[in-house]
Amino acid sequence: MVDFNSGVTMLKPAANNPATRPTLSDSLVASTHQKTTSVLALLSDASSEFGDNKITFANSFGAEDMVLTDIIIRNALKIEIFSLDTGRLPAETYDLMSETEKHYNTKLNVYFPIAENVELYVKTNGINAFYDSIELRKSCCHMRKVEPLQRALSGKGAWITGMRAAQATTRASLPVREFDTGNQLEKFNPLSDWSEQEVWAYIRLHEVPYNKLHDQFYPSIGCAPCTRAVAMGEDIRAGRWWWEDPTSKECGLHVKI
Ligand code: SF4
């Protein structure tokens, strides 16, 4: 059973997380510009290699994904962008989705879970059954994230993520390009070597919309019931499924088989 009174759960989030407002030193600005140039070159090459409608970017509206969204749209790259709506996202994420539509004058391409699957899961297990066991947590993630992702990736040759190596122990050796054996297509992680500071430098320099929960010490944001604020200096993904072992905390979107 989940202990709702343990560790970081007692933090009262305040909207003053200094990580989202790094000092824009000359060296930070220079490294951010240099890495942006590299990402643009990589995405342009990937777009040419896979062609129209065959390469797609999964935008989960985290800070990294907003950087990639901005690079793709600002440079009119021929890369489709899609998102997953699990039905349990925080209100702040829906606010950002709406803000993104307005900022880029676009409409989102959103995949939802299959309604019958959600109805059966809730009827069988309960509305918040993901707290009851790792199996029920993983089956909820599969139903609300993995299955819609598989539909979004169907027929594609490659997909792009905003993952960074420094985000979690499970991502420490993240390559820029790899073959995704689980989904049987190429996978690009263009921000693999970016630091958190560089991500926020890009967002500030280009005035990119972002999720306001980041200012409240939520460095990684998923579904509302499975995401908490973290303490200063704590692991970036410590607030995701905070009751589980850090070495197994992935939702199934990025597992290797
Ligand atoms: S993060 Fe939580 S609510 Fe969201 S799909 Fe996974 S278990 Fe379900």
Q: DSSP assignment of 153-199, as one string?
A: HTT-SEEE----GGG-GGGTT--SEEEETTTTEEEE-TTTT--HHHH
Q: What is the DSSP letter of 252?
A: S
Instruction: Identify the residues whose C-beta falls under 6 Å from ligand 1.
Output: 86, 88, 130, 137, 140-141, 144-145, 222-223, 225-226, 251
Q: How many other C-beta atoms lie within 10 A of the C-beta of residue 236?
A: 16
Residue 102 in any domain: the answer is yes
Any catalytic annotation for residue 251? yes
For residues 201-231, b (16+ Cβ closer than 10 Å) or e, as one string?
bbbbeeebbbbbbbbbbbbbbbbeebbbbbe
Residue 244 in any domain: the answer is no
Residue minimizing CA distance to atom 1 of ligand 1: 223
**Total number of domains in the chain:** 1
Tell how far the Cα of 122 is from the centroid of ligand 1, in angstroms.
13
What pTM did the predictor assign? Answer: 0.90
Tens place of pLDDT for every residue, the chain, 257 residues?
565 545 444 445 677 899 999 999 999 999 999 999 999 999 999 999 998 789 999 999 999 999 999 999 999 999 999 999 999 999 999 999 999 999 999 999 999 999 999 999 999 999 999 999 999 999 999 999 999 999 999 999 999 999 999 887 777 789 999 999 999 999 999 999 999 999 999 999 999 999 999 999 998 899 999 999 988 777 777 888 888 876 666 666 665 54
Residue minimizing CA distance to atom 3 of ligand 1: 223
Residue 70 in any domain: the answer is yes
Residue 112 in any domain: the answer is yes
100: CATH: 3.40.50.620
Domain with 49 in it: 43-211
With CA atoms as reference, report the closest residue to 60 among 49, 68, 52: 68
Residue minimizing CA distance to atom 5 of ligand 1: 141
**What does the alpha-carbon distance between residue 105 and residue 99 come to, in Å, rounded to a whole number?**
10
